[in-house]
Amino acid sequence: MSAKIKYTDEPLGKLRVVPNFLPAPEDLVFREEGIKVTLALSKRSVDFFKQEAAKHHTQYQRMIRRLLDAYAEHHAQRPIRSEGRTRRHRARAV
């Protein structure tokens, strides 16, 4: 893929506004049980989440996980939302 992309000023057709359903970075800090996967992300995205995680004193991977959960919840045919916190974390919060 060494060929450069050439952008033109063509009409885009009929457009529609998509509502912003994504949570703010500070809403992505709770822990939930999960499974491990291997995923390659762009450096720009990882740097963004690392910066935001540092601001909110949390882990960037946790924020990414919550973002994906929110996206899946929004687009799921049936609700997939879990309790949001692990038992261990709930016990500490009491």
Of the candidates 19, 20, 24, 90, the residue with the CA atom closest to the CA atom of residue 63: 24
**Residues 33, 86: contact at Cβ < 8 Å?**
yes
From CA 47, how far away is CA 72, in angstroms rounded? 23
Residue of higher predicted confidence among 29 and 14? 14
Annotated domain spans of the chain: 25-30+37-93
Average confidence (pLDDT) over 5-19: 87
pLDDT tens, 34-69?
A: 788 999 999 999 999 999 999 999 999 989 988 998
Strand, coil or helix: 9: coil
pTM of the shown model: 0.50
Strand, coil or helix: 75: helix
